[in-house]
Amino acid sequence: MPVLTRLTRWWQSLAGPLKPETSSYAPGHAPGHAPDPADDDETDARDPDDPVVMPIEEAIDLHHFSPRDIPSVVVEYLHEARSAGFLEVRVIHGKGKGVQRRRVQLVLADHPAVESSRSDGLGSTLVRLRPLPA
């Protein structure tokens, strides 16, 4: 299963428990009054196999990914970040023993879009990307 598909399913699983199912209280409604069903968004009606569009931001936290997926996640993230116009991004791998940092930095060393990278000593690597050709 592709990494982004697994990420999408993980992201969807986070949304489930946040929605109160049995409580009659919802933000914006007085306690004891049932919320208006028309206020619900249509996320419950979507197919669980449909992809969820996640915004590409200036940083990615790799703590949520399986170690074996880290290289492909980093490659995909760099591609999307560069396409979104980011020239500097942060890859958060954690401090630990440095195993994930080394994995990330090996990927960055061979990636053609990476102009430079350096560890910040705080559990992340700062990456400077080459701009897309005009």
Domains and CATH numbers, the chain: 3-45 (no CATH), 59-129 (3.30.1370.110)
Q: Which residue has the higher pLDDT, 125 or 24?
A: 125
Res. 60: pLDDT tops 70: yes
Return the pLDDT at 30: 45
Q: What is the mean pLDDT of residues 41-61?
A: 71
Q: What mean pLDDT, rounded, does the chain reach? A: 77
pLDDT-derived band at 65 (thresholds 50, 70, 90) equals confident
The answer, yes or no, to whether residue 23 has pLDDT greater than 80, is no
At 24 the pLDDT is 40
Annotate 51-75 with DSSP letters as a single string.
PPP----SEEEGGGS-GGGHHHHHH
Q: Burial-class residue 97 by CB neighbours within 10 Å (0-12, 13-18, 19+).
A: exposed
Return the pLDDT at 117.
95
> Does 116 score more than 60 pLDDT?
yes
pTM: 0.61
